Amino acid sequence: MDFDLSDDQRLLKDSVDRLMAETYGFEQRRAHMAQPDGWSRGSWAQFAELGLLGVTLPEAQGGFGGGLVEAMLVADAFGRSLVVEPYFAHAVLCAGLLRHAAEASVQDEMLPVLAAGESLFAFAHHERAARHCLSHVETTARLGEAGFVLEGRKSLVLHGDCADRLIVSARLSGGMRETNGIALFLVDAAATERRGYATQDGLRAAEITLDGVIAEVVLGLDAWPGLSRAVDEASAFLCAEAVGAMDALLALTVEYMKTRRQFGRAIGEFQVLQHRAVDMQVQLELARSMALYATMMAADPDEETRSRAISAARVQIGRSLRHVSEEAIQLHGGIGMTMEYRAGHYLKRLAMIEKSFGDTEAHLDRLAAMGTAW
Amino acid sequence: MDLSFTAEERAFREELRDIFHTEIPERIRGKLRHGLHASRQDQVEAQRILNARGLAVPNWPVEWGGQDWSPVQHYIWQEELQLACVPHPLSFNCTMVGPVIAQFGSLAQKQRFLARAANLDDWWCQGFSEPNAGSDLASLRTTARRDGDDWVIDGQKTWTTLGQYADWIFVLARTDPAAKKQEGISFLLVDLTTPGITMRPIQTIDGGREVNEVFFDGVRVPGENLVGEVNRGWDYAKFLLGNERTGIARIGITKARVRRIRELAEQEWDGDRRLIDDPGFRRKLASLEVELKALEMTQLRVVAAERQLEKGKPNPMSSVLKIRGSELQQASTALMMDVMGPYVAPFFDEHEIEFGNEPPPGPADAATAAPQYFNMRKVSIYGGSNEIQRAILAKAVLGF
């Protein structure tokens, strides 16, 4: 049992941290967001160059050859800097889906493209009535003469507005929430109808209509095991991203408390405020512990063991992020309310993480339904 | 980065589990599982079995009966002990006075006291807190005055846990009234049969009598019973209090209680459905289990970091463990109350529960649920109150 990074992992962490320090200050981030896509193609190229887009992919397929710990390090750094590029959609979700749900030949063809960042991938899965149910798929796939024909509407597709390719989930058989009968297809994004928009945390998303779209590639016809695994891994990434964001936000808050003066002294001298900052620290440490746990358990091949661990982590992180981000704004006072200051942007990102792929209550429901065998 | 234990560590765990389950009588472990207290005799019996196996004081220096274990092994020992509901080797002997004597005591003191403390031949108790020295312990006013070779102690101590069973007490007393408050304190070992000592039990809100007031009226203590140097007692006390870095969270005990909660909720009916089938209850239980998992992972991080820490240097992260560990001990006793529902009300003292002709009304363990809940209010107060822990974190981690 150890929590230490290997030398290679430490090197990766240093290089990502350095890139963030050089290219992702608050003003630089604002400039990235002002680009036509809502993010920076220049940063994207730098991520590709450092190997970050394929950080969890095998070297033979153009990847960095890392695992979930490496992904966690990227997540932590990106959380601190509030990265707005489509990293999560492309390099986490879609890389995971290709790895866990696609045939080997498809992987060999697609993963190098993904790792190079040449073609942008997004995951078109969520539907209007799904809420937090991952197996909710009403979009249909039927075999036509030219291949599988997809019909349906996808919603909240993260970075679906600018993606070149979409990984689309569609139902071949079964009721709308059954895990059996879900397939995954690769679709040319230009063949769909898209309405793009910004999200609260400065990312981009799209509503997507599939009106008789013909799938380019079949990724998997019995896709649930791979899909649920990829999403659990993505949850582990979100946990680590949230920890990075919380850590930076707490540091920002403590720094502010040491410099902001009222009643003739730094507000950090008031014990009532010190204790509130300590309670934020306690919540952060619990979240950090569970992000590590999620990272180490997300590769567990047993679906139930893995899901239990991921849901437990999401519950803790969901509670911690609420506490830390709400308290951070309160301790800052008015400055915390402005778009010109960093703290509020952390609140916004953390609040959106909490609602991604099952919120705190949904994960608690999942745990309660499972019963326990810790 | 790896969460798994090594094959040797797993074998070590199995070996300990086996010893704890087969050698410590079920009669004793069952009491703890059902929320009752071990008697003096139970405590002595269990500790002597452990000591015969070298398992009572593994945290001591090897030459005085300790084990050369890794931090992970110490963690496993503690967890298995708690999961098996074995009475913990008496903390006053094993984690408090023993390590202080081993570290700072004279050779004569080590030879005289250590082996007897490990075997619970002497039962030790603590003379630290006073009526006006709680969180601000260094303001204590009990004095020890030099008289020839002896020390003469006058004053009052309080919250002396299980003092009624004890043979010896370790006392912090002021030996230099003129010095700064932390600098004039000494650490003395006192035989409780010495004339001038009065022990008065204090009944706590659970109905039990586990703590006492101790009065010292001209109590004469031989000079050889002073530990280390005169006026250095505060350093020894800090060493003692910082000694248990990871044990304070008592995660194993809370885990065992949560298991018991699940068992009882599976047996308890609410109309035509079992309590465990109530979605609201399941969510509360799952929620507590998540919090416990998060604490356990935090504890493992602290254990893993211990390899890199200088020995005896406290890790401020152990304050996080203290805060959350105590909160979850309390939360688990509150959830146990929820399982028992209205049957928490009947009051039976422990003797009636154990030896009465009829069991108390209601579900199994109902009679101990409320007393445990009341009693556990103490855990966020003792061992450095949770507010003191926050003050430590504010300074040591956040730099206020």
Residue A27 tokens, joined: 């003003």
Q: Would you list the DSSP string of B200-233?
A: EEE--TTS---EEEEEEEEEEE-GGGEESSTT-H
Residue B321 tokens, joined: 């463990």
Is the same domain home to A174 and A311? no
Residue B164 tokens, joined: 């009624």
Residue B188 tokens, joined: 């003395």
User: With an 8 Å Cβ cutoff, are B390 and A269 in contact?
Assistant: no
Is the same domain home to A196 and A305? no
pLDDT tens by residue, chain B, 400 residues: 888 899 999 999 999 999 999 999 999 999 999 999 999 999 999 999 999 999 999 999 999 999 999 999 999 999 999 999 999 999 999 999 999 999 999 999 999 999 999 999 999 999 999 999 999 999 999 999 999 999 999 999 999 999 999 999 999 999 999 999 999 999 999 999 999 999 999 999 999 999 999 999 999 999 999 999 999 999 999 888 877 656 778 999 999 999 999 999 999 999 999 999 999 999 999 999 999 999 999 999 998 888 777 666 678 888 999 999 999 999 999 999 999 999 999 999 999 998 999 999 999 899 999 999 999 999 999 988 999 999 999 999 999 9
- If you average pLDDT over residues A183-198, what whole number do you get? 98
Give the domain-ending residue among A81, A116, A151.
Answer: A116
Residue A124 forms contact with B (CB below 8 Å): no
Residue B33 tokens, joined: 């599982």
* Chain B (8-67) residues lying within 8 Å, Cβ to Cβ, of chain A: 9
User: With an 8 Å Cβ cutoff, are B400 and A277 in contact?
Assistant: yes
- Place A144 in a pLDDT band, splitting at 50, 70 and 90: very high
Closest CA to A97 of A218, A264, A178: A218
CATH number at A27 reads: 1.10.540.10
Structure letter (DSSP) for residue B66: -
Backbone CA torsion sign across A232, A234, A238, A239? positive
Give the chain A residue nearest B1 (alpha carbons). Answer: A3
**Encoded amino acid at B354, one letter:** E
CB B295 within 8 A of CB B328: yes
Chain A residues within 8 A of B398 when measuring between CB atoms? 254, 274, 277-278, 281
CB A166 within 8 A of CB A119: no
Is the same domain home to A216 and A233? no
Q: For B83-120, b where at least 16 C-beta lie within 10 A, e where not — what string? A: bbbbbbbbbbbbbbbbbbbbbbbeeebbebbbebbbbb
Report if residue A316 sits inside a domain: yes
Residue A281 forms contact with B (CB below 8 Å): yes
Chain A residues within 8 A of B289 when measuring between CB atoms? 312, 367, 372, 374
- If you average pLDDT over residues A227-243, what whole number do you get? 98
Backbone CA torsion sign across A198, A199, A201, A204? negative
Beta strand pairing call for B197-202 and B150-157? unpaired
Is the same domain home to A365 and A272? yes
Q: How much is the pLDDT for A372?
A: 66
**Encoded amino acid at A41, one letter:** R
- Place A339 in a pLDDT band, splitting at 50, 70 and 90: very high
**Torsional class of B265: left (φ above 0), alpha (ψ -120 to 50), beta (otherwise):** alpha
In total, how many domains does chain A have?
A: 3
B199: which strand partners?
B214
A121: which strand partners?
A165
Residue A263 forms contact with B (CB below 8 Å): no
**Residue pLDDT, tens place only, A250-264:** 999 999 999 999 999
Structure letter (DSSP) for residue B342: G
User: With an 8 Å Cβ cutoff, are A1 and B282 in contact?
Assistant: no
Residue A229 tokens, joined: 């695994």
Report if residue A58 sits inside a domain: yes
User: With an 8 Å Cβ cutoff, are A286 and B294 in contact?
Assistant: yes
Residue B383 tokens, joined: 């061992």
Is the same domain home to A71 and A163? no
Q: How much is the pLDDT for B246?
A: 62
User: With an 8 Å Cβ cutoff, are B390 and A365 in contact?
Assistant: no
As a whole number of angstroms, the distance between CA B330 and CA B318 comes to 18
- If you average pLDDT over residues A130-150, what whole number do you get? 97
- If you average pLDDT over residues A36-49, what whole number do you get? 97
Is the same domain home to A355 and A239? yes
**Structural domain span for residue A357:** 225-370
Give the chain B residue nearest A247 (alpha carbons). Answer: B398
Report if residue A172 sits inside a domain: yes
Report if residue A1 sits inside a domain: no
Is the same domain home to A258 and A328? yes
B226: which strand partners?
B188
Residue A21 forms contact with B (CB below 8 Å): no
User: With an 8 Å Cβ cutoff, are A293 and B297 in contact?
Assistant: yes
Is the same domain home to A77 and A21? yes
Residue B389 CB contacts under 8 Å (≥ 6 apart), including other chains? B319, B320, B322, B323
Is the same domain home to A234 and A343? yes
Residue A269 forms contact with B (CB below 8 Å): yes
Q: How much is the pLDDT for B3?
A: 83
User: Could you tell me if the ipTM is greater than 0.85?
Assistant: yes
User: With an 8 Å Cβ cutoff, are B304 and A372 in contact?
Assistant: no
Give the domain-ending residue among A116, A141, A159.
Answer: A116
Is the same domain home to A217 and A241? no
Residue A3 forms contact with B (CB below 8 Å): yes
Residue B325 tokens, joined: 């560990």
As a whole number of angstroms, the distance between CA B13 and CA B276 comes to 30
- If you average pLDDT over residues A358-369, what whole number do you get? 96
CATH number at A179 reads: 2.40.110.10
In this structure, what is the dihedral angle of CA atoms A300, A303, A307, A310, given to the nearest 10 degrees?
20
Residue B301 forms contact with A (CB below 8 Å): yes
User: With an 8 Å Cβ cutoff, are B301 and A269 in contact?
Assistant: no
Give the chain B residue nearest A287 (alpha carbons). Answer: B294
Report if residue A135 sits inside a domain: yes
Q: What angle do CA A162, A163, A165 make, to 5 degrees?
A: 155
In the predicted structure, residue A374 carries a pLDDT above the cut 60? no
Closest CA to B83 of B41, B150, B24, B126: B24
User: With an 8 Å Cβ cutoff, are B3 and A282 in contact?
Assistant: no
Chain B residues within 8 A of A3 when measuring between CB atoms? 1, 300-301, 304-305
First vs last C-alpha separation in chain B: 32
Give the domain-ending residue among A97, A116, A135.
Answer: A116
Is the same domain home to A231 and A337? yes
Q: How far is B154 from chain A (nearest CA, A)?
A: 36
Which residue's structure tokens are 């929430």?
A177
Residue A282 forms contact with B (CB below 8 Å): yes
Residue A272 forms contact with B (CB below 8 Å): no
Residue A362 forms contact with B (CB below 8 Å): no
Domains and CATH numbers, chain B: 7-89 (no CATH), 124-237 (2.40.110.10), 245-396 (1.20.140.10)
Chain A residues within 8 A of B305 when measuring between CB atoms? 3
Chain B residues within 8 A of A69 when measuring between CB atoms? 1
User: With an 8 Å Cβ cutoff, are B2 and A295 in contact?
Assistant: no
CATH number at A317 reads: 1.20.140.10
Is the same domain home to A171 and A198? yes
**The 3-state secondary structure of chain A, one letter per residue:** CECCCCHHHHHHHHHHHHHHHHHCCHHHHHHHHCCCCCCCHHHHHHHHHHCHHHCCCCHHHCCCCCCHHHHHHHHHHHHHHCCCCCHHHHHHHHHHHHHHHCCHHHHHHHHHHHHHCCCCEEEECCCCCCCCCCCCCCCEEEEECCEEEEEEEEEEEECCCCCCEEEEEEECCCCCCCCCCEEEEEEEHHHCEEEEEECCCCCEEEEEEEEEEECCEEEECCCHHHHHHHHHHHHHHHHHHHHHHHHHHHHHHHHHHHHCEECCEEHHHCHHHHHHHHHHHHHHHHHHHHHHHHHHHCCCCCHHHHHHHHHHHHHHHHHHHHHHHHHHHHHHHHHHHCCCCHHHHHHHHHHHHHCCCCCHHHHHHHHHHHCCCC
Residue B320 forms contact with A (CB below 8 Å): yes
Q: How far is B198 from chain A (nearest CA, A)?
A: 39
CB A286 within 8 A of CB A320: yes
Which residues of B are the active-site residues?
244
Chain B residues within 8 A of A6 when measuring between CB atoms? 1
Report if residue A330 sits inside a domain: yes
A194 or B245: which carries more pLDDT confidence? A194
Residue A270 forms contact with B (CB below 8 Å): no
Closest CA to B17 of B94, B89, B78: B78
- Place A373 in a pLDDT band, splitting at 50, 70 and 90: low
Chain B residues within 8 A of A271 when measuring between CB atoms? 391, 394
Residue A368 CB contacts under 8 Å (≥ 6 apart), including other chains? B279, B282, B283, B285, B286
User: With an 8 Å Cβ cutoff, are B5 and A1 in contact?
Assistant: yes
A239: which strand partners?
none
Which residue's structure tokens are 């039962």?
B123
Report if residue A2 sits inside a domain: no
Give the chain A residue nearest B9 (alpha carbons). Answer: A1
Q: Is B165 exposed, middle or buried (0-12, 13-18, 19+ CB in 10 A)?
A: middle
